[in-house]
Chains A and B, each alone.
Chain A
Amino acid sequence: MIHDLFIDANRCIGCRACVEACSECPSHGGQSMIHLDFLDRTQTVQTAPTVCMHCVDPSCAAVCPADAIKIDDNGVVMTAMPERCIGCGNCSLACPFGVPQLHVEIDLMMKCDLCYDRTSAGLKPMCATVCPSGALYYGTRDEIEDLRRTRATNTFAFGDAAVSTRNHLMAPAGTASIHIHDGAGHSGRGLSRAEQQLGEALC
């Protein structure tokens, strides 16, 4: 039985333990499949870990011209099969969560496969095993909702496009679906030169 992963970026402390643990996995030899992003270093120290959400109807697999992305019967969306992947980047363009990593130099896409070798054997994924703050939690919905005031949500709206996922984001109770901002009020504001320089200096 493969459980679900629950992601609460607000609990992330940017320690990179998940990144390092992920890169230990032999199935992707030293490469971390987790993205750890600063949201806006001019305003906050908030970081956000992103792993594959394992969509119910994964757009990465749907647009793959080589049919290199397979889905397990448990709904786990696998990383690209190396013998098939032609490094086109369609998956990277199609994924609304920005997960697939396209390695152009080796013509291969790699992404989180929920530590399939571990989770299918009853173990936790590497990232959730080492996360000290509970930003990445592996278990059942009942378990996480016993522990938190926030609730697990796995339906998203990107404009008119609705996406359901196997993994969950934590959101306040009563949030049936997470409507992803269309960018108004966020990316619309330009940065002053001082802010740009501050951001670059902080990198």
Chain B
Amino acid sequence: MSRLSMDRLPGENVATVGAFPASLTGAERATVAPRGAVLNLLPWRDATIATLLLIAAIAVGSGFFASFDPALLGYCAATLVASVAVVWRLSAFWRRPASAFYARALLAALLQPSDLLRTLSAAGCDLGAQNFIRRRSAIRWAAHLLLSLGTLTSFAITVPLVFGWMHFVADGERSFRMIVFNLPAVRFDVGGAFAWCIFHGLILAAVAVTLGALYFLVARLRRRTLPEVTASFAIAPLLLLLFIALSGLALPATRGWPFGFRVAALAHEASVIVLLVALPFSKLNHLLVRPLQLGVRAVRRDDAAWRACASCASRLAPTAQQHAVADLLERRGLPVASHWRLCPQCRRKRVAATQASLVGASFQPRLGAGCDREVA
């Protein structure tokens, strides 16, 4: 059975690997073409700047490594490698002409005070609550929420610890004080609810990830004949997340058994490092794509200027989007004709009417005539 190649790099589609119009500059080709993207220096520049800033933040935030925990050095090194890869990938992807249109729209919406609230609200619905998944399937939404919130919670707890941005010091007989960026923060009782949440946060996150990953693993295996369900693309990331969660749960469970604890710690560290490094090159890289949905919200607003179908006058698309798509098509050597000013249904009718006329149909169908709805 033929399988999809899901693991191509940034502009990874085979459709984007081909002859490009001579009008494209080298930089444009690099942002269109997957292999060219490796040669494009702008994403490398962004990745370097971001990683240098991160290293500076680690140095400053940990009091110039005074509160840095050497036992977590492996995690820290993997996170720095991951930051290079993630920013490079994000920058290369968002610079593709098709993505750049929505990235610019998102940036403009964030910079425009009148649009900022609307964009933040959309971020809460789309990225936070993930409502679009709920509308696709409620149970998948619940499982995805467990998986994503579990993962994000564990990152939110571990990253500040790994970078030395956060640590705890005893403050009295039965209380701790949290130190954040070398500044004293909240003081809490060791037996209180806050302490319980802090000290059990990773366990709760691991349980959530386990439940979510198990659901998706079962769902994928039940639908393994579908083209997108490949071992490397759809199954491996779930197995990795499951392994990380279970090895994380094994850490407190083996605390009284030194050998078991060392094995669990080593397995957990190795699997987390694999996840961090693989993050931008696996199925998990949809995290880097999803924010563009906010750009779509900004472009497809009801109060934007919309174009109507040139034939049936139904609402077609925002004018800005139509121009952007026409520009993209022309960049690829596909000059946009009047046909592209039609709605999809009128396009289909036009193709069918042309074929009918070729075989000598006696009628002359008029597009936009009669019923413009699909057959119910």
Contacts and interface: CB of A to CB of B under 8 A. Distances in A.
A73 B367 CA distance: 36
A130 B227 CA distance: 23
Nearest to B1: A120
A199 interface: yes
A98 B343 contact: yes
A17 to B, nearest CB: 13
Main secondary structure on chain A at its contact with chain B? loop
Given A61-B16, A62-B15, A89-B300, A113 B227 contact: yes
Contacts of B289: 66-68, 84, 86
B136 A159 contact: no
A45 B6 CA distance: 43
B179 interface: no
B297 to A, nearest CB: 9
Given A73-B5, A180-B354, A41 B370 contact: yes
Interface in B252-289: 283, 286, 289
A106 B132 contact: yes
Contact of B374 (A37, A57, A175, A185): A37
Given A10-B361, A92-B344, A169 B355 contact: yes
Contacts of B365: 39-40, 43-44, 46, 186
Interface residues of B, number: 89
A13 interface: no
Nearest to A14: B375
A128 B335 CA distance: 33
Contacts of B325: 63, 90, 93-94
Contact of A187 (B310, B355, B356): B310
B135 interface: yes
Contacts of A23: none
Contact of B348 (A37, A105, A158, A182): A37
A180 to B, nearest CB: 5
A78 B227 contact: yes
A42 B346 contact: no
Contacts of B375: 14, 16, 19, 36-38, 47
Interface in B62-118: 93, 96, 98-99, 101-102
Which of A2, A36, A69, A89 has the largest number of chain B CB atoms within 10 A? Answer: A89
B321 interface: yes
B186 interface: no
Interface string A80-97: 011110111110111111
B361 A46 contact: yes
B314 interface: no
Interface in A7-48: 8-10, 14, 16, 19, 26-27, 35-44, 46-48
Nearest to A69: B13
Contact of A189 (B18, B292, B366): B366
Interface string A167-203: 0011110010011111101110101000110111011
5 closest Cβ pairs, A-B complex: A159-B337, A199-B370, A48-B352, A98-B344, A98-B347
30 contacts: A10-B356, A26-B226, A35-B345, A35-B374, A39-B356, A39-B363, A40-B370, A41-B370, A43-B370, A48-B352, A64-B13, A68-B289, A74-B2, A84-B286, A88-B299, A89-B321, A90-B325, A93-B322, A93-B340, A106-B132, A158-B337, A169-B355, A171-B358, A178-B358, A180-B351, A181-B354, A182-B339, A185-B364, A195-B369, A202-B370
Given A81-B286, A96-B339, 11 more contacts: A63-B328, A67-B12, A67-B93, A78-B228, A88-B299, A88-B321, A99-B344, A150-B359, A170-B355, A186-B365, A199-B371
Interface of A: 2, 8-10, 14, 16, 19, 26-27, 35-44, 46-48, 50, 57-59, 61-74, 77-78, 81-84, 86-90, 92-100, 105-108, 113, 116-117, 120-121, 150, 156, 158-161, 163, 169-172, 175, 178-183, 185-187, 189, 191, 195-196, 198-200, 202-203
